[in-house]
Amino acid sequence: MKAKIYVTLKEGILDPQGRAVQQSLQTLGFPAVEDVRIGKFLEVDIVETEQAAAEAQVRSMCEKLLANPVIENYRYELTEVSLPK
């Protein structure tokens, strides 16, 4: 299985990187850009064919390591892929 995991800053938390990117986009000639938020996009390959088992693992990874609940939210999608072996 392949998990696509999106980790984003919680609403209301200032995103210094996003703000800087927004400002540079504006000076670069994109005045229409109102807001930029920057998060992480992780692709995780898991040798696991069962949807439920894979899902449990992904959730647990996110909680233990991949996202920091003080500042971040996460969501994920699982897709089946045929891994060799």
Partner 1 sequence: MKHDNKPSTTESLSKALIHQHGLSDEEYQAILAHLGREPNLTELGVFSVMWSEHCSYKSSRIHLKRFPTEGPRVVQGPGENAGAVDIGDGLAAVFKMESHNHPSFIEPFQGAATGVGGILRDIFTMGARPIALLDSLRFGELDHAKNRHLLQGVVSGISFYGNCIGVPTVGGEITFNDIYSKNPLVNVFCLGIVEKDRLLKGLAQGEGNLVLYIGAKTGRDGIHGATMASDSFDDASEKKRPNVQVGDPFLEKLLLEACLEFLEQDLLIGIQDMGAAGLTSSSCEMAARSGTGIELDVALVPRRESGMTPYEILLSESQERMLLVAKPGKQDAVLAICHKWGIDAAVVGKVTNDGLLRIKDGTQTVAEIPAKALAEEGPRYDRPAAPPSYQDSLQSLNLDMLPDVKNPDEVLIALLGSPTIASKAWVFRQYDYMVGTNTVVCPGSDAAVVRLKGTQKSLAITTDGNSRYCLLNPHMGGSLAVAEAARNLVCSGAEPIGVTDCLNFGNPERPDIMWQFVMAVEGIADACRALNIPVVSGNVSFYNETNGLSIYPTPILGMVGLIDAPEHITTQWFKQAGDHILLLGQTNEDLGGSEYLKVIHAREQGIIPWLDLEVEQRLHRCLLELIRQGWIQSAHDCSEGGLLVTLAECCITSPLAPLGAQITIPPHRIRLDGVLFGESPSRAVISVKPEHLDAVREAIVQAGVPLTDLGRVTSSSFDVTIQQAAPVSPICFSLPGSHLADIWKHSLAKQLDGDE
Partner 2 sequence: MNIGIVVFPGSNCDRDCAYVASDVIGQSAQFIWHQETSLGEMDAIILPGGFSYGDYLRTGAIAHLSPIMDAVKAFAKQGGLVLGICNGFQILLESGLLPGAMLRNRGLSFRCEEVYVRVENAETPFTNQCHPGQVLKIPIAHAEGNYYTDPVTLSSLQANAQVIFRYCDADGQSTGPSNPNGSLDHIAGIRNAAGNVLGMMPHPERCAERALNNTDGFLVFQSMVASLKTQARLTAR
Phi, psi values for residue 7, rounded to 5°: -115, 120
**Integer Cα distance of 67 and 58 in angstroms:** 11
Among 14, 16, 41, 70, binds its own copies (CB under 8 A): 41
Q: Which residues sit at the interface with partner 2, rule CB under 8 A?
A: 13-17, 20-21, 24, 28, 38, 40, 64-66, 68, 70-71
Q: Check binding of 78 to its own copies (CB under 8 A).
A: no
**Integer Cα distance of 20 and 8 in angstroms:** 17
Q: CB 20 → partner 2: shortest distance, Å?
A: 4
| Closer by beta carbon to partner 2, 15 or else 54 | 15
Query: CA separation (Å) from 81 to 24, 46, 59, 78?
Result: 38, 10, 19, 9
| Closer by beta carbon to partner 1, 49 or else 68 | 68
